[in-house]
Structure formats: C-alpha cells, structure tokens
Amino acid sequence: MTGPSDDAALPGMFGDLFRMLGSQNPTQMWSESARALAVNVATAGVSEGTVDPVERIALEGLCDVAVMRVDAVTDGLLAGASHRLVALSRSEFALATLSAWTPRIEAMVAARPPQVLPSSGDDQPVEMEAIINQMLTAVGPILLGMQAGSAAGHLAREALGLHHLALPSTPTDAITIVPTNVIAFAADWSLDADAARLCALVRERIAAQLFAVPHIAERLDSLFADASTEAGVALTNLFSELQGGSFDMTAMLADPEHMLESLATPKQRWVASQLSALVTAIEAVVERFTLAALEGLLGSGATVLEAYRRAATTYGQGGEGAAALFGLDRSAAQIDRGQKFVRGVEDRAGVDGLLNLIRRTDGLPTPAELDAPGLWLERLELSAP
C-alpha cells in the first residue's frame, strides 16, 4: 500500500496541495491569512502613507490638557507615568491589534486537536482519505484567521485609539491614536477638529489606564484565556459535525449565530456571561468618565458630547466581529445594561461610588450585580476594611 507521503501517490495539483498543507503548522495557517486580510480591509486595498505630521503635532499639543482633566475626574486613580503620544496608521493599528490577540487565538487553535477521518472501506483510497483529512484540519485555523483579520481590519477603520474596546491588548504607557479615524469622526459629525482630537485623547487615556489596573487586567486576561480555550473546543465540535456529515449547511447559512451557539459547551456559555458582564461594566465606566472629562474641557453643551454618546452606544462591523471572535455579547441591550449600572451606582453613591471599581480589588461586579447596583454597593460596604 502506498503512503500519503509518497509523491507518486498524489501527482499534480493534489500532491502539491497536500505538501503545502503538510508543511504548515496551525499558527502559520491562521496568522498569514489574518494579517493579509486585516491590512487589506484596513486600507481598502489602497496604498497607505505615513501619519500626517501636522495631525501628530496637533494631537501632541492637546495631550497635556487631556491628561490633566482625566486625572481630575478620576481622582488621580488613572494617573500614568507617561503622556507620550503614538500615532498609528490604520494598517499599523490592524497589525498591532492582531499581535495583541495572538496568544488568545493560538489558544483557540491549540484547543482543537488534529482529527482523523474514520476509514470508509476499500472503496475510498487511503491517500484520498488522508488529503481530505489534511484539508479539513486546515479549515479551522484558516477560517479563524479570516475572522480575526476581518475584525481587526474593520476595527482599524472605526477605532479612535488602540483601546477602543476592552479586548486583549498589549500593555503600554502611551496614548495611542489613529489620526485618520479622528479626522473621519470630526467630518461625519461636523465637529471642530480640536474637539474631536480631545475626545479621542481623553477616551484613549481613560481606557488604556483602566484596562491596565492590575485586578482588572488579571480578571480580563483570565476570562479571555478561558473563553479562547472553550472556543477551541467549540471549533472541535464544528469539525466533528463536518466530518460526520451531519452538519446542516443550509441552517448554518440561514442562521449562523444560532447554529454555532448550539455547538457551544456549557462552560463556554458561563465564561461568555462572566466576560460580557465585566466588559459591559468596564466600558460603561470608561464612557461615563470620558463624558465627564469632556464636559469639563468643552462645556456640557458641546456638540462632540452628543456625537460621542451616539457613537458609544453602537458597534461597527469591526466591533461586532471582535465581539463574536471572543464570544462577547455586545448587543444594544447589553450596552444599555452597563449604562443602567453606572446610573444606579451614581444615584446611590455618586461618582465616588464608581471609583470603587478601580480602587478596590474586590470591586468588579458579578453578572447579577450588574443588574442590581445596590447589591454591588452593599457587598462592598460589608467587606470594607
């Protein structure tokens, strides 16, 4: 019997394809497709130049005032060591985002062990079974890479700064802005350019520093790690369905979210609920302090405030894709849930009550507390040192 590694067994195109698939590891499969797609989507396939030096200088000129206002509204709890500005092009943002996501995506790939097709008997050549198995094994990482690349690319066209969403990110003491998107934000909402720049700087400063608070960063990282592992298990379930021939492709195309949800594990659903609640609370707090800082800088009637409120209550294609990749619920109802939590805390304990989420290591709300801010405040009061 001829083995599948024998070039003579699979001549021509199929032999070439088999050798290509066999020479690549799963990491290569997803990362290459992800990077290429992310850059293409971020730039719309058009060559992208460097960041305009004039825009960089304009942002740098507003950095200090933005940082001082953030420190004031957060009682100094989010004060950082650096005011350094980093300005990224859209393609640079997309690649930086993929780099930050890499450990989590590789965990998804690693959690899906190689599968072996059962023998179909004498009617199916062993060589053909081998190549079909190899091709199916490659499908998961490649599709995952395309999903990640698409999300990162679209996010690069939407985000004002690197910490646009509470997703896996690389720690940095810089204020990282995407000037092209700030200009687009100002044009879309007919805003003063400096007001749009201040909005981006304030929001990025608050988000970057809040996501880096040790107990917040540790909890986010732990939940994202669990979510990635469980997503890999779900991919295994999908792969098994494909192999077994029981996968309903028509149902998948008609309602992909429902079909994929049916393949999720109980633990995956639990992790998703925990992660979604935490991200919802954190992002709602970011938006609250961003608006407070902007009101202090520009006045409560500034046009940029309404523009920011509206932008903060919706997710673009990149945000939706990133949420789906990591199993987050970022629906309008979920965003509203976070805003109600913030209002509920402020009504009972003022802005200082919200700061407990930052200053206390036990200050992260559970999913139940997100819906009952009074219970969250009561727990913190009872456990106060």
Note down pLDDT in tens along the chain; length 385 residues.
444 444 445 455 545 555 555 555 656 678 888 999 999 999 998 888 889 999 999 999 999 999 999 999 998 888 766 778 999 999 999 999 999 999 888 887 776 554 444 444 545 555 555 555 555 566 667 778 888 999 999 999 999 999 998 988 887 878 999 999 999 999 999 999 999 999 999 999 999 999 999 999 999 999 998 888 877 666 666 656 655 555 555 554 454 454 455 566 788 889 999 999 999 999 999 999 999 999 999 998 889 999 998 888 877 889 998 988 888 888 889 999 999 999 999 999 999 999 999 999 999 999 999 999 999 999 999 987 7
Give domain status of residue 138, yes or no: yes
Whether 302 maps to a domain, the answer reads yes
Predicted model pTM: 0.83
> 107 near 229, Cβ under 8 Å?
yes
The closest alpha carbon to 286, from 12, 137, 74, belongs to 74
In the block, which residue shows the tokens 């910490």?
A: 163
Whether 7 is in a domain gets the answer no
All residues at 6 or more sequence positions from 268 whose CB lies less than 8 Å from its CB, including other chains? 227, 230, 231, 233, 234, 327
The angle, 0 to 180 degrees and rounded to 10, between the axes of the packed helices 193-211 and 266-298 is: 140
Is residue 19 a part of any domain in this protein? no
What's the total number of domains in the chain?
A: 1
> Does 93 fall in a domain?
yes
Residue range of the domain that includes 339 = 51-382
Residue 10 within a domain:
no
The answer to the question of residue 192 being in a domain is: yes
**Cα end-to-end span (Å), the chain:** 74
Residue 2 inside a domain? The answer is no
